Structure 1
Amino acid sequence: MKFNFLGILGIICVLFSSSVFAQDDAVPVDKIIAKVDNNIILLSDVEAGYQQMLSNGQYPKDKKKAKCDILKGLVVNKIMYAKAQIDSIEVDDARVADELERRMQYFILQAGSQEKLEKTLGASVNDLRDDLRDQVKEQMTVQTMQQQIIAGVTITPKQVKKYYESIPKDSIPFLAAEVKVGQIVREPKVSESEKEKARQQLVDIKKRIEAGEDFGVLAKQYSQDYGSARKGGDLGWHGRGELVPEFEEIALTIDPNEIADPVESDFGFHLIQLLERRGGRFRARHILIRPKSNYQDIQDAVTFLDSIRTLIAESDTLGFEKAVNLYSDDQPTRANAGYFKNQVTGSSYMATDELDPVVFFAIDTMKIGNTSKPLKYRTEDGQQAVRIIYYSNYKPPHYANLKDDYQKLQQATLNSQKNEILEKWIKQAKNDVFIEIDPEYDDCNLLDSI
């Protein structure tokens, strides 16, 4: 069986997340078990991958082989990282910082709060951020390297058919039940009084800065753009068209070090200070305050979606997909005609265990073709919103076939092609780097199998 080179990035993701919450109870004494140029792999890396496998409900019959496969994936990752260093492939520090902050917010959300996360880890969030920065940079560098290797790979329907026909009859996958579910989202329209509260808060903050307080300190304390807040509001360098027009207009017209009056954009209200400008590029920092929806704003959204739900049910001209295009505020699902999308296959059909549990329980009592009552929920960035859920279709469990599962088979064919390209690249690349494996792992035959 061929090794899944395309899936190697998953090992880094697993180790990244599991290392944050891992406990030290049953961890053996750590040591270096492999080197690829100047990059090391620790015994604890393999153990973390194995423990994560168990926590995901995967219980391998051959424990030793499973750990060999984990080590093999880690060595492949290190080869790609070493080659990226040789080829001078780098990831911008600003991108690394943004990705690290996104993950930190995820960890905080998983723990329940920053305080709970710090208590669990016995360390501050800042210490954790510093500890993980190099791991995130390595992961993003490997991803960039991989993307360059497999860029431009395409397949034809003929290749998909050939791939499907090459699967032994007794190995054709049996697919779980799938559903096609969509949503129409309404973000509460914030009242003018709430907007004025947000604007006035920034006016007061500006007065404090003019009186001598530090912009960066106040950004860390008050800004609701958490990614830039920890950097004192600094957004780094940007060019024309990279930020919202309202922000860009201010940044390109005020003088360096000048602080503009609060300005509104789709994100909320910004207090903007220009730090530097070079031609059409600028570096600015800001403090963002998002106006809060009040009870009546949310109830107005509920009433609005309830009326849309009635129109969809009773109108011959306004179907769900048309209503999505006219009224939904959620861009990702709106771009897919309102339907949730499997991020791996691109299909609008999803296994029920892939759905948000709240969505699953909503459709559990619904009939196909029905739309739910308005449901309050929080978006990924924590904002309050309201949505109606549409249950479009159901696929019973079945064996994969070209008619019903073409998108899945197309993705599988594409992955197979990419995997072959990566395999050839790794076989060549391993000759360009120094690899050393602890003799304890000779039985894994790593160098011969890569």
Structure 2
Amino acid sequence: MRKIHHFAKTAFAALCLIALSVSAYAQTPVQRKVDGIIAKVDNHVILRSDLEFGYLQYLSQSKQQPSEELKCQLFTSLLQDKLLLARAEIDSVTVEEPMVSSELDRRIQYLASQVGGVERLEQYYNKSVRQLKDELRKTIKEQLVMEKMQQQITGKVTVTPKEIKKYFNAIPADSLPYFSSEVEIGQIVKHAQVSRQQKQEAREKLEALRQRILAGEDFATLAKQYSQDPGSAAAGGELGFFKKKELVPEYEAAALRLEPGGISNVIESQFGFHLIQLIERKGQEFNTRHILIKPATATVDVEETIAELDSIRTLIVNDSISFAKAAKEFSDDKNTKDNGGMLMSRATGSTYIPMDQVDPSIFFVIDTMQVGDISKPIPFTTEDGREAVRIVSLKSKSKPHLANLKDDYQKIANAALGQKRSKAVDAWFRKNIGTVYIEIDPEYQDCGGLQQLMQ
């Protein structure tokens, strides 16, 4: 039987947990009432909707055919999750709030990239980023706790070369995977900047509003009329209470310099230009309202960005700086700049990407490149709709082939390690399942994988 384990479905879990959370808080109270509990593990429950939604998500990700066996395996995996959480409470395993906040930021950025930016994300769910974070926080925190528990269980699990070879030799010859051509790709991205004139126009518009407020007009009323922040404009620009380091640094610094009721000068952040009013301080938290004006983006200076990247490319080609160092120093792409500019496979987390999964805008660039080449600057549009330019480096390219130990040793080693870690999790599950209260709906008590683990 093919088992679904945490380590075999890392990418799926990252996406599915977000979707489960969003699905859960998007349901109406009536829908939640109809939803049933199918398992309890101490204070933690599994809802029927959790299983059904996760099942559909897994089918769409894995392209497998629907089956009750597969649903049973997923139920067992969800039960393992709840046992991890229950044991974490008993063993006092926790995660720090800054880690939770950092992961929330990463998840929100990912969701925003899928729908075309933060504004569209807020419009799609009709909620501010702060509200989305509040509703996702518990789920993200639980996932981080589970990961910490998994690390304690499997952190010392390793595989020897002998075990890797044994694992590979156990695969029937007619079941060896066929690897298509894979590439390693690096990129350095620069966002095209709004022209100075457009920035100046946005700044002047806010300066005029500031003078009107200082002359006696109501800040909240003007925010409703003019602010371009869809998440707060309707509320008179009010953001609600935030702790330090939860807002962009420029905004926070300006806000914390104010006394309650005070109005800031015009300040610039990655979102545009802000006029800020401090409403109230409460301990370590503060509440503000703002008016956001974004520079018009009809014209960005792409040619200047091309020239800048061309100069960076020349430095790399002349060996004055490595591609990895240039990516870290100059790239605007947060997802790749800190790992040498390398693109990662969303499915596996590896730098090796099958050619049929390469973004089309990059595929046609590298298709004519030789390994080691660096492309000329290429204009493109980012996932959140920004105009940008990038240079691309083709680090490596493999030929299609059947899996073998020589060419695919690391992949086989990872698979062998994953199998061994899965066995360690199963052993831990069997050892600890009797240490917590568990109640399972009769419909799922006969799941094959569950019975094996509970024996």
Task: Say yes or no: TM over 0.5.
Answer: yes
Task: Give the conservation status (yes or no) of the 8 Å contact 1:220–1:233.
Answer: no
Alpha carbons of structure 1 residues 186 and 114: separation in structure 2 relative to 1, 3 Å: closer
The aligned residue for residue 184 of structure 1 is 188
The aligned residue for residue 41 of structure 1 is 46
Once residues 254 and 343 of structure 1 are traced to their aligned partners in structure 2, the CA distance between those partners, rounded to angstroms, is 43
Once residues 90 and 325 of structure 1 are traced to their aligned partners in structure 2, the CA distance between those partners, rounded to angstroms, is 29
Q: How does 1:64-83 map to 2 (within 5 A)?
A: 64-83=68-87
SS across alignment from 1:426? helix
- Look up the equivalent residue of 1:41 and give its one-letter code: I
Q: How does 1:79-90 map to 2 (within 5 A)?
A: 79-83=83-87
Give the deviation of 1:244 after TM superposition.
6.0
Once residues 361 and 234 of structure 2 are traced to their aligned partners in structure 1, the CA distance between those partners, rounded to angstroms, is 31
Task: Give the conservation status (yes or no) of the 8 Å contact 2:264–2:275.
Answer: yes
Alpha carbons of structure 1 residues 268 and 73: separation in structure 2 relative to 1, 3 Å: same
Find the partner of 1:363 among 343, 356, 366. 366
Give the deviation of 1:195 after TM superposition.
2.1
Give the deviation of 1:412 after TM superposition.
4.3
SS across alignment from 1:193? helix
Once residues 388 and 83 of structure 1 are traced to their aligned partners in structure 2, the CA distance between those partners, rounded to angstroms, is 48
Tell whether 2:147 aligns with 1:147: yes
Once residues 203 and 292 of structure 2 are traced to their aligned partners in structure 1, the CA distance between those partners, rounded to angstroms, is 10
Once residues 274 and 74 of structure 1 are traced to their aligned partners in structure 2, the CA distance between those partners, rounded to angstroms, is 45
SS across alignment from 1:164? helix
TM (norm. structure 1) is 0.73
Once residues 232 and 362 of structure 2 are traced to their aligned partners in structure 1, the CA distance between those partners, rounded to angstroms, is 29
Task: Give the conservation status (yes or no) of the 8 Å contact 1:223–1:229.
Answer: no
Identity of aligned residues (%): 34
Find the partner of 1:253 among 253, 257, 270. 257
The aligned residue for residue 236 of structure 1 is 242
- Give RMSD over aligned pairs: 4.8
- Look up the equivalent residue of 2:266 and give its one-letter code: P
Once residues 133 and 322 of structure 2 are traced to their aligned partners in structure 1, the CA distance between those partners, rounded to angstroms, is 48
Alpha carbons of structure 1 residues 160 and 448: separation in structure 2 relative to 1, 3 Å: closer
- Look up the equivalent residue of 1:433 and give its one-letter code: V
Once residues 325 and 44 of structure 1 are traced to their aligned partners in structure 2, the CA distance between those partners, rounded to angstroms, is 43
Task: Give the conservation status (yes or no) of the 8 Å contact 2:113–2:383.
Answer: no
Once residues 278 and 385 of structure 1 are traced to their aligned partners in structure 2, the CA distance between those partners, rounded to angstroms, is 41
TM (norm. structure 2) is 0.72
The aligned residue for residue 14 of structure 1 is 16
Alpha carbons of structure 1 residues 338 and 214: separation in structure 2 relative to 1, 3 Å: same
Task: Give the conservation status (yes or no) of the 8 Å contact 1:77–1:142.
Answer: no
Give the deviation of 1:432 after TM superposition.
3.9
Find the partner of 1:423 among 423, 426, 446. 426
- Look up the equivalent residue of 2:260 and give its one-letter code: P
Give the deviation of 1:54 after TM superposition.
3.7
Instruction: Render the CA deviation track for 1:191-243: whole Å, top value 9, x for unaligned.
Output: 3222212322333444465545354993897355969998833461116xx76
Give the deviation of 1:261 after TM superposition.
0.5
Q: How does 1:111-150 map to 2 (within 5 A)?
A: 125-126=126-127, 136-150=136-150
- Look up the equivalent residue of 1:17 and give its one-letter code: A
Task: Give the conservation status (yes or no) of the 8 Å contact 2:266–2:273.
Answer: yes
Range with greater deviation from structure 2 (433-442 or 325-334): 325-334
Alpha carbons of structure 1 residues 290 and 406: separation in structure 2 relative to 1, 3 Å: farther
Once residues 122 and 389 of structure 2 are traced to their aligned partners in structure 1, the CA distance between those partners, rounded to angstroms, is 29
Alpha carbons of structure 1 residues 5 and 192: separation in structure 2 relative to 1, 3 Å: closer
Structure 2 residue runs without a partner (length 5+):
27-33
Q: How does 1:187-198 map to 2 (within 5 A)?
A: 187-198=191-202
Tell whether 2:382 aligns with 1:379: yes
- Look up the equivalent residue of 2:197 and give its one-letter code: S
Q: How does 1:21-420 map to 2 (within 5 A)?
A: 31-37=36-42, 39-56=44-61, 58-60=63-65, 63-83=67-87, 95=101, 105=112, 108-109=115-116, 125-126=126-127, 136-151=136-151, 159-171=159-171, 173-207=177-211, 210=214, 211-215=216-220, 218=223, 222-224=227-229, 232-234=238-240, 236-238=242-244, 246-247=250-251, 249-265=253-269, 268-275=272-279, 283=286, 285=288, 286-293=290-297, 295=299, 297-306=301-310, 309=313, 315=318, 320-321=323-324, 324=327, 327-342=330-345, 347-400=350-403, 404-405=407-408, 407-408=410-411, 411-412=414-415, 415-416=418-419, 418-420=421-423
Once residues 222 and 421 of structure 1 are traced to their aligned partners in structure 2, the CA distance between those partners, rounded to angstroms, is 54
Alpha carbons of structure 1 residues 108 and 266: separation in structure 2 relative to 1, 3 Å: closer
Alpha carbons of structure 1 residues 371 and 449: separation in structure 2 relative to 1, 3 Å: same
Once residues 159 and 225 of structure 2 are traced to their aligned partners in structure 1, the CA distance between those partners, rounded to angstroms, is 54
Alpha carbons of structure 1 residues 208 and 430: separation in structure 2 relative to 1, 3 Å: farther
Give the deviation of 1:433 after TM superposition.
3.3
Task: Give the conservation status (yes or no) of the 8 Å contact 1:163–1:413.
Answer: yes
Alpha carbons of structure 1 residues 52 and 221: separation in structure 2 relative to 1, 3 Å: farther
Alpha carbons of structure 1 residues 138 and 443: separation in structure 2 relative to 1, 3 Å: same
Tell whether 2:446 aligns with 1:443: yes
SS across alignment from 2:339? coil
Task: Give the conservation status (yes or no) of the 8 Å contact 2:104–2:133.
Answer: no
Task: Give the conservation status (yes or no) of the 8 Å contact 2:182–2:399.
Answer: yes
- Look up the equivalent residue of 1:67 and give its one-letter code: K
- Look up the equivalent residue of 1:14 and give its one-letter code: C
Alpha carbons of structure 1 residues 440 and 341: separation in structure 2 relative to 1, 3 Å: closer
Give the deviation of 1:414 after TM superposition.
5.5
Instruction: Render the CA deviation track for 1:318-374: whole Å, top value 9, x for unaligned.
Output: 665565466433344332333223467664332224433322233234443444343
Alpha carbons of structure 1 residues 403 and 226: separation in structure 2 relative to 1, 3 Å: farther
Structure 1 residue runs without a partner (length 5+):
23-28, 118-123
